[in-house]
Amino acid sequence: MATFFGEVVVAPSRAGLDEEEEAREETPEDREIRREIEKKREVEVLWSCAEELLVCSRFVVAIGRNAAAFLSSFILDSVCWEVVGVVKLWNEWCRTSSTTNVLPTDSFCLFYRLISDPTVLLCQCSCYVAEDQQFQWLEKVFGSMQKKGLQVTILSTCPVADYKTQESTLTLVSPFLKALKTKEFQEQVCCPLLEQPNIVRDLPAA
């Protein structure tokens, strides 16, 4: 039953289900297939530097094609950055190389270090990170970094149609910039804060 007008309610259905299928237990072959898929979906982070923990003061992460393109056009378009790492992923929408090379050229997620200040890192993540891979991504990327005094900035985009506001989205000047911040961030924010009930999803939210 709907709790408010316009709520989408999906009615339960038993169509296409046999009692035998419901009662069927997982076979050893099923378990092996599931293990192989889980192994294939593991997130792998490879670094070119030999340091155990990267000393990092600022870490900028661009998530999604638009944010990654912005990073390429306005920040990385100079010779003062060097590629220092890569994330390898395999899921429904992303297939990175199976090579063991530290910096595969066909990767969709690369890490750059500022040559003049090696404590500044950028990450260009233009690939899709599935829900079951997001925690792994965070754990392995941030597990490689010294977190004391680390400031993280995340850039991401979403369609204007998803933006919730009382005014018509047709009158909005697009594109526009909004920010979210944690209570630990004490510096001045460069743009207005994102209003409720708007939310951030997927890897940026994680």
Contacts 24+ apart (CB under 8 A), 107-111: 110/83, 110/85, 110/86, 111/47, 111/83, 111/84, 111/85, 111/86, 111/87
Contact status, residue 113 vs residue 121, Cβ threshold 8 Å: yes
Residue 196 has pLDDT above 60, yes or no: yes
Q: What is the pLDDT of residue 9?
A: 60
Q: How far from each other are the two terminal CA atoms of the chain, in whole angstroms?
A: 32
Q: Give me 84's structure tokens.
A: 């220092």
pLDDT digits (tens, 9 = 90+) for 65-123: 889 888 888 888 877 999 999 888 877 777 665 544 444 444 578 999 999 999 999 99
Q: What is the pLDDT of residue 190?
A: 85
